[in-house]
Amino acid sequence: MAFFTRFALFSVLSACLLSAGLNAQHRCGLDHYVQHQREHNPAYFEAYRRVLASWKAAGTERGGGGVYVLPVVFHVVYHEDDQNVPDSVIYSQLEVLNEDYRRLNADAVNTRDAFLPVAADCEIEFQLAQTDPDGNPTTGITHTYTEQTGFSLDLFGTTNTLDAVKDSEQGGVDAWDTDHYINIWVCNIEPTFFGQIFGLAYPPAGLDNWPAGSSAPSPELEGVIVHYTTVGRNNPFAGADDVNDNDMGRTCTHELGHYLGLRHTWGDELFFDVCSEDDGIGDTPLCGSGDQYACDYTANSCDEGTGDLPDQLENYMDYTRDECYNMFTQEQKSLMRYVIEMLRPTLLEGVGLKEPCYDGSISVRPNPASDWITCNFGKSPMRHSVLIYDMSGKCVKTVQQADANTRIYTGDLPPGLYAVTLGDSRHTLRVVIQRP
């Protein structure tokens, strides 16, 4: 949850070898960080306990406030053309997120009977930003070429080298205001000797009662990183990493869970007493490790005695195949909503979701015109409907999803006077169509 200091990675070779042996395609880099904190930051777990205590004291049944809609910007950072995933893939990813966090996913029917009572509609939705930090219109998606062939995570270093993708000076893209936007970087995460990491996210910064010695990552590093092959359900490059089980967009679902405060269901203990560590969530059964892509519904790695339940591998915060995920729990919902309310409340201000400001400018050139006109809308939304009316008030031409500098064919219109207007009808300009 909100309990991390700066990102640093543990350097115990045996732990890395174990994770590689369990699964050469290592889904998430967070557990490496947890192991490092266990060894080098004694305040870490005390901070975690205090945050959990604050959440539980506030009440774990949190359903008030309605649906929380959070603004998202995707930064696609690419070197090769196949890393430059198209916008259609981003739209698919957004659809996956909203299905998973609202429990509208078609595979919700696969939740086992034992877990149906705790399966949750988290009442959290994600929406592409409409306005950038400067107040300009945006699609909520950026595409940036980089000279870097990819970005790598140094498992033995003392800093998160993947953060280079968040820095324009290192070949990445600077974050948009992380107080008001969820930044998701899509890039090529280069495989390490121990396998492929699919994503990584920072949990939220801490509460006032964090112990001394704990400090949050720099604000500009907040957000999520995902490997480009894992994005969306319609990704034409999904097979580029030679993995067939991560092509349903669930990596981003998982990483956003970390961003909103959730730990892995097994509590991130990798190789000592694996049943000694828990995720702090009461309705995710104690388990010893991630499913590691086995999709083994018979697994029950920790015996909790009377009423013991099997491992909840269908939980989005486990490690398994995308097709085997299908649920968050009620307490996970509660914790994520608590994190939004208490630790990331500025996301709810909706700054990035407001329609861009209209500056009142609309221009058409040339005027008079013949076969073509070019409309410029100033700071009107980048994608908008444009309507052309004749002087009788009849709409004679409609252009949907026009951008800020749209060229429109008028050669099929009789000569005369016309009104060109944005779809909101507040901005209109008259134009003369004439023939030579």
Whole-Å CA distances, 230 to 61, 82, 175, 189:
33, 13, 21, 11
Q: Taking a C-beta distance cutoff of 8 angstroms, is the pair 44, 216 a contact?
A: no
Q: Does domain 13-353 have CATH number 3.40.50.150?
A: no
The mean pLDDT value for 287-295 works out to 82
Instruction: Single out the residue of 249, 256, 196 nearest to residue 223, CA to CA.
Output: 256
Query: SS3 for 239?
Result: helix
* Phi, then psi, of 374 in degrees rounded to 5: -115, 125
Residue carrying structure tokens 């696609």: 76
Other C-beta atoms within 10 Å of 73: how many? 25
Residue 28 pLDDT: 58
The domain limits of the chain are: 13-353, 363-433
What does pTM read for this prediction? 0.74
Whole-Å CA distances, 263 to 29, 204, 281, 360:
12, 12, 9, 48
Question: Does 311 or 343 have the greater pLDDT score?
Answer: 311
Residue carrying structure tokens 């050469």: 24
Whole-Å CA distances, 384 to 286, 292, 407:
51, 46, 13
Residue 41 pLDDT: 44
Q: Give every CB contact of residue 36 below 8 A, 6+ residues apart in sequence.
A: 8, 9, 10, 11
Which tokens go with 214? 């704990």
The mean pLDDT value for 98-113 works out to 97
Which tokens go with 371? 């076969």
Residue 149 pLDDT: 96
pLDDT tier at 188, thresholds 50, 70, 90: very high
Query: 169, 220, 222, 255: which is the annotated catalytic residue?
Result: 255
Highest-scoring range by mean pLDDT, 16-20, 164-168, 404-408, 430-434: 164-168
CA dihedral defined by 288, 41, 254, 341, rounded to 10 degrees?
120
Lowest-confidence range among 184-193, 297-306, 408-417?
Answer: 297-306
Residue 197 pLDDT: 87
- Annotation marks residue 255 as catalytic: yes
What single string gives the DSSP state of each residue in 111-159? S-GGGGGGB----EEEEE-SB-TTS-B--SEEEEE-S-S-B---TTSSS
Whole-Å CA distances, 270 to 16, 27, 288, 292:
9, 14, 8, 12
| Distance (Å, whole) CA 185 – CA 225 | 5
Whole-Å CA distances, 101 to 70, 111, 130, 150, 399:
12, 15, 21, 30, 35
Q: Give every CB contact of residue 143 below 8 A, 6+ residues apart in sequence.
A: 76, 78, 84
| Distance (Å, whole) CA 430 – CA 75 | 39
Which tokens go with 114? 């034992």
Q: Taking a C-beta distance cutoff of 8 angstroms, is the pair 190, 29 a contact?
A: no
Q: Give every CB contact of residue 393 below 8 A, 6+ residues apart in sequence.
A: none
What spatial distance separates the first Cα and last Cα of the chain, rounded to whole Å? 70
Which tokens go with 229? 């092959």
**164, pLDDT greater than 50:** yes
Residue 277 pLDDT: 74
Question: Does 20 or 65 have the greater pLDDT score?
Answer: 65
Instruction: Give me the chain's average pLDDT, please.
Output: 79
Q: Verify cis geometry, omega within 30 degrees of 0, for the bond prior to 414.
A: no
Q: Does domain 363-433 have CATH number 2.60.40.3080?
A: yes
Whole-Å CA distances, 72 to 139, 181, 266, 347, 396:
10, 6, 28, 10, 37
Which tokens go with 311? 């491992």
Which tokens go with 242? 């030679």
The mean pLDDT value for 348-361 works out to 72
